[in-house]
């Protein structure tokens, strides 16, 4: 299986990887709304069979804008060439078939193998990324997630974010991310195999994400947010500890401080966090 990462992110299958894109995702949002006009977000909670417990969100899922013939007008959901079908429209002739990228990312194809679980339902990742989730959905960080446009995340993801991509050859497919939010420098809320990282900087929001592959050491080159260890980010393609702008000098690396010889540099968009560098 390939790695899952955030963009600076991706879940990976035998031939395709799923990554988290920077900025990160909204966490603990209830993704259980169905396509429609969208409702008012609740206070969150333990979560039911079809969603994730947590802080609640802005409302239910809504449909994307469409053009002639019902084909979605946004284009920043994938760069896979459209051949047999449209990934957003899911316009395969067989209602039980999903429109998906070919494994090499050179075409869209209609194929079976979908399950019955809906948006936000808990799922177990399989090598193909299929299996449990319904037509057009993918298992992302443990939840059935739809394809989404980066320019209009709320139309596809509700109060969550469109910041996870699955790679197919040199192409990408963007997906909603319902990952659990967490407390940076603590991370006890994260499930086994996941680590807490600052993901949406302008909201001071951290989320749990799987470590991609064997992980990259602090100070080494990286491509994606979850290449790096817990409480780190991929800054200018180097893994760096996240730090507290106020008080870093009195804290240890991984607890809000920096390694010896490094200082805490404020991150744009937040007055709380920075990154450590020489």
Report yes or no on 215 lying in a domain.
yes
At residue 230's C-alpha, the angle toward residues 229 and 232, to 5°, is: 75
Least confident of 39-53, 130-144, 211-225: 39-53
pLDDT band, residue 126 (cuts 50/70/90) = low
Question: Cβ neighbours of residue 214 under 8 Å, at least 6 residues apart?
Answer: none
Same domain, 202 and 115: no
Task: Write b or e for each residue in 122-154: b if 16 or more Cβ atoms lie within 10 A of its Cβ, otherwise e.
Answer: bbebbebbbebbbbbbbbbbbbbbbbbbbebbb
Domain carrying residue 98 = 77-177
At residue 214's C-alpha, the angle toward residues 166 and 173, to 5°, is: 5
Report yes or no on 62 lying in a domain.
no
Same domain, 81 and 115: yes
- The pTM (predicted TM-score) of the whole model is 0.65
Same domain, 139 and 226: no
Report yes or no on 43 lying in a domain.
no
Least confident of 34-38, 135-139, 245-249: 34-38
Same domain, 137 and 205: no
Q: Are 97 and 135 in contact (CB under 8 A)?
A: yes
| Predicted pLDDT at 223 | 82
Whether the per-residue pLDDT at 277 is higher than 50: the answer is yes
Report yes or no on 18 lying in a domain.
no
Same domain, 160 and 208: no
Report yes or no on 239 lying in a domain.
yes
| Predicted pLDDT at 251 | 95
Please tell me the total count of domains within the chain: 2
Same domain, 167 and 87: yes
Report yes or no on 235 lying in a domain.
yes
| Predicted pLDDT at 181 | 86
**Residue percentage of the chain with pLDDT more than 70:** 70
pLDDT band, residue 254 (cuts 50/70/90) = very high
Least confident of 33-37, 108-112, 209-213, 251-255: 33-37
pLDDT band, residue 241 (cuts 50/70/90) = very high
Report yes or no on 230 lying in a domain.
yes
Same domain, 164 and 203: no
| Predicted pLDDT at 57 | 26
Report yes or no on 269 lying in a domain.
yes
């Amino acid at each position: 299986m390939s790695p899952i990462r955030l963009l600076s992110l991706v879940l990976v299958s035998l031939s395709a990887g799923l990554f988290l894109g920077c900025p990160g995702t909204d966490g603990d949002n209830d993704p259980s709304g169905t396509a429609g006009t969208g409702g008012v977000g609740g206070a969150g909670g333990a979560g039911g069979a079809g969603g994730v417990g947590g802080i609640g969100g802005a409302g239910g899922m809504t449909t994307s804008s469409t053009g002639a013939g019902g084909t979605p007008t946004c284009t920043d959901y994938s760069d896979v060439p459209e051949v047999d079908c449209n990934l957003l429209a899911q316009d395969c002739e067989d209602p039980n078939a999903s429109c998906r990228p070919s494994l090499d990312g050179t075409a869209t194809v209609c194929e079976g193998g979908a399950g019955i679980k809906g948006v936000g339902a808990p799922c177990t990742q399989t090598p193909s990324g299929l299996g449990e989730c319904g037509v057009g959905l993918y298992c992302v960080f443990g939840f059935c997630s739809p394809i989404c446009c980066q320019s209009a995340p709320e139309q596809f993801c509700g109060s969550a974010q469109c910041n996870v991509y699955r790679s197919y050859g040199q192409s990408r497919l963007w997906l909603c991310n319902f990952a659990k939010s967490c407390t940076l420098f603590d991370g006890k809320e994260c499930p086994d195999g996941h680590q807490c990282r600052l993901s949406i900087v302008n909201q001071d929001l951290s989320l749990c994400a799987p470590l991609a592959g064997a992980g990259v050491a602090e100070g080494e080159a990286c491509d994606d947010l979850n290449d790096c260890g817990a409480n780190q980010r991929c800054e200018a393609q180097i893994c760096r500890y996240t730090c507290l702008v106020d008080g870093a000098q009195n804290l240890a690396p991984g607890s809000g401080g920096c390694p010896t010889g490094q200082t805490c540099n404020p991150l744009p968009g937040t007055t709380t966090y920075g990154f450590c560098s020489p």
